[in-house]
Structure 1
């Protein structure tokens, strides 16, 4: 049986409307430590041409501080303006 993981659904708002969300997702993915994995990406229209990047990220269940480490990583990625944790779910498998 595989170990349980935590699925974090997070909405990332770019700091500028001209930012390529695909490129922003790559930057975020490259900043993630071992054991963290983006399993799904989507674009969500917000308003006036601004789109948000919706990410589904698996993190190890035993991550100390819950989503704090993920939030710290996101805040340091170039192009990330704001982010919002939408949901956190424990999953046995994904």
Structure 2
């Protein structure tokens, strides 16, 4: 089995949300079998900025499920969506 890299888009509830606080909470919420690689900001519209969270997880049953569940529990996060997933070679 190999590892998988996934990009998960987090949409804040509003443009007024403190993105730095969300980023800190993302780092703190990673399950032990996942490694946070990078967080990128993506401007959407009208001041709203999404966060693309890039994580590396083991290629096992459940994959990104634990990461998605933890990210969805962060305050001020409105939506969590896996936008890309690839196997590392």
Fold match (TM-score > 0.5): yes
TM-score normalised per structure 2: 0.87
Q: 1:28 corresponds to which residue?
A: 26
Structure 1 stretches (4+) deviating beyond 6 angstroms?
Answer: none
**Structure 1 Cα separation of the partners of residues 34 and 63 of structure 2:** 12
Count of residues in correspondence between the two structures: 89
Moved more, 42-51 or 67-76: 67-76
TM-score normalised per structure 1: 0.83
Gaps of 5+ in 2: none
Q: 1:7-38: per-residue Cα shift (whole Å, max 9, x none)?
A: 11111101121122222121011011112111
